[in-house]
A and B are shown apart, each in its own frame.
Chain A
Amino acid sequence: MLSKRTFTCIVCPNGCTIETVCADGAVKSVTGQKCKRGEEYVTQELIDPRRTIATTVKVHGAPWPLCSVRLNRAIPKKDIFRVMDAINKVELQAPVHIGQVVIANVCGLDSDVIATKELPAKE
């Protein structure tokens, strides 16, 4: 059984339209991508779609109430809201630095939540 699917690649702003053909659970062809990352993306997308997310956490003692955070590795799409719940339980104390690990190995998904903003302690 051949199954065809069309994807819009989300790796970069080119947003290539990529066509895939699968047969008996195996990828037979991937066409339309401008680069190798597109092929990797759809291959991953066919077996286990993954995304990174970006959100904020509360921070105390900083000039601003929030610190932005993101995942440093993609997680399965189905776990996005579970990870949001975990992130929403965290609060930080200033100073916060870019790259600081906010939650290591969040929900056991082999991805860290890291801070993406420099927040000095309020004077």
Chain B
Amino acid sequence: MENRDVVIIGGGPAGLAAALELKKGGIDDILIIEREKQLGGILRQCIHDGFGLTRFGQTLSGPEYAQRFIDEVLAMGIEAMTNATVIDLSGDKVVTAATPKGLIQVQAKAVILTMGCRERTRGALAIPGTRPSGIYNAGVAQSYMNLFNTMVGREVIIMGSGDIGLIMARRMTLEGAHVKAVFEVLPYPSGLPRNIEQCLHDYGIPLYLSHSVCEIMGDKRITGVKVVEVDSAMRPIPGTEKVFSCDTLILSVGLIPENELSLAAGVELDWRTKGAVVDENLQTNVPGIFAAGNVLHVHDLVDFVSLEAEALAKGAAAYLKEGPLEKCAIEVGMDAGIGHIIPHRVSGTKDFQISLRVRKPVGKCTIMVKQGETVIASLSLPKAIPAEMIQFPVKAEKILTGERIEVSVHVK
């Protein structure tokens, strides 16, 4: 069995950024294992612009953003194995991968989980009706159109207002499809306001909030959907059903971190994020296994994925050079206004970054980080929406006790 200091599972934006930062931190024995034939992950199919505003101060397409990292990885001589799928990860950090050369096993000192996420599918929503063709997840349609030159349909209904669905509404319109409407079950959009503006409003595509697809119709190919209005408890309102004809239904109903390998290794998951429970170093409950990017929690912007992976690399490099990291015994909890929070545990001796999402849209508010009655950090915002990830630093010098940290939203 081969031995490596670090194996990085997944060569998307998180894996690439982690690799570079580890290398810059003096870790040389790195192997990236990527399932696809090229590095870059999901960015390869995200051809729209808007990437890199924070990091590079300019608006790039996904492939351009990825290429900057890929070029650097190659220039620094970091080894990346593509077309190779990790099929097992053990708790003692043995990575098993299916590669074109056969099955390989690598004993790693540290493993970086950067597998990204998957789309929630029709099966998970249990939409009644027939099982015709013409129903795609937004990201699948995006890969067909942007990578494989295959148009998925002409008369399109989109279910869910996630960002990928919005991006695809515009993309399909540009390629000549008629996108009839977007239906969102929640009373507010799931995607970013700028995408509602530039992907829907610009092209006159209506967005129906508090609406759900309640039936799929069609035999071989989808011919239409039945849509119903829902009340504040998301129960269908009888008598509000309407039928929309279509030949394509695009689902953009959420992303789920891909953690089958993590579970195999005994990594504890958070039911809210569906990603690993991590400490301030982004280390999981299994010492030496770290996670960052969309496999940890679904991000809004790739710029933040890169930053998170770089923060991870600092912790992972320290683990490799100095041995086990300081115990993180202080729990980080949240109130009902917050959907999820990263990290879950901290040491209290190190500055750390909080990442969170609010559960529902609120106006002017303050996010408070407290130990008992003592405020150790806070952030005031003009508004907060679930579509946006909120991040801010917490200083270790403010943490004076081992008491649990509570994060809460206070609306003014």
Shortest B27–chain A CB gap in Å is: 27
State how many residues of chain A have any CB contact under 8 Å with chain B.
31
Q: Give the docked Cα–Cα distance between A118 and B202 (Å).
A: 30
From A7, A9, A56, B146 is in contact (CB under 8 Å) with A56
Q: Is B64 in contact with A116, judged by CB distance below 8 angstroms?
A: yes
Q: Give the docked Cα–Cα distance between A76 and B270 (Å).
A: 46
| Interface set, chain A 71-96, CB cutoff 8 A to B | 77, 80-81, 84
Q: Is B388 in contact with A80, judged by CB distance below 8 angstroms?
A: no
Q: Give the docked Cα–Cα distance between A58 and B388 (Å).
A: 35
Residues 37-73 of A, flagged 1 when their CB comes within 8 A of B and 0 if not, give: 0000000000000011111101000011110111000
* A116-B63, A116-B64 known; A10+B197 contact, CB < 8 A: yes
* A13-B301, A65-B148 known; A53+B193 contact, CB < 8 A: no
Contacts of B301 in A (CB 8 A): 13
* A51-B202, A56-B146, A66-B146 known; A98+B47 contact, CB < 8 A: no
From A7, A64, A68, A80, B174 is in contact (CB under 8 Å) with A80
Contacts of A66 in B (CB 8 A): 146-149
Q: Is A116 in contact with B61, judged by CB distance below 8 angstroms?
A: yes
Q: Is A8 in contact with B193, judged by CB distance below 8 angstroms?
A: yes
Q: Say yes or no for B48: interface residue by CB 8 A criterion.
A: yes
Shortest A14–chain B CB gap in Å is: 8
| Interface set, chain A 9-40, CB cutoff 8 A to B | 9-13, 15, 17
* Of listed A10, A66, A118, residue having the most chain B CB within 10 A: A10
Q: Is B174 in contact with A70, judged by CB distance below 8 angstroms?
A: no
* A15-B194, A55-B47, A70-B47 known; A118+B146 contact, CB < 8 A: no
Q: Is B193 in contact with A54, judged by CB distance below 8 angstroms?
A: no
Q: Say yes or no for B49: interface residue by CB 8 A criterion.
A: yes
* A8-B196, A51-B198, A51-B202 known; A116+B53 contact, CB < 8 A: no
* A53-B174, A55-B174 known; A12+B53 contact, CB < 8 A: yes
Q: Is A10 in contact with B48, judged by CB distance below 8 angstroms?
A: no
Contacts of B146 in A (CB 8 A): 56, 66, 68
Residues 15-55 of B, flagged 1 when their CB comes within 8 A of A and 0 if not, give: 00000000000000000000001000000100111100100
Q: Give the docked Cα–Cα distance between A121 and B243 (Å).
A: 48
Shortest A11–chain B CB gap in Å is: 8
Q: Is A10 in contact with B194, judged by CB distance below 8 angstroms?
A: yes
Q: Is A13 in contact with B192, judged by CB distance below 8 angstroms?
A: yes
Contacts of B300 in A (CB 8 A): 13
Closest partner residue, chain A, to B71 (CB atom): A118
Q: Give the docked Cα–Cα distance between A116 and B175 (Å).
A: 18
Shortest A57–chain B CB gap in Å is: 10
* Of listed A7, A66, A69, residue having the most chain B CB within 10 A: A66
Contacts of A12 in B (CB 8 A): 53, 194
Q: Give the docked Cα–Cα distance between A60 and B149 (Å).
A: 13
Q: Say yes or no for B121: interface residue by CB 8 A criterion.
A: no
Closest partner residue, chain B, to A71 (CB atom): B49
| Interface set, chain B 147-164, CB cutoff 8 A to A | 147-149
In the complex, besides A54-B61, A116-B64, A117-B67, 7 extra interface pairs with C-beta distance below 8 angstroms are A7-B197, A10-B194, A13-B301, A53-B174, A55-B47, A77-B202, A117-B47
The 9 closest A-B pairs by CB, nearest first: A15-B193, A68-B47, A116-B61, A8-B197, A10-B194, A15-B194, A65-B149, A117-B63, A10-B198
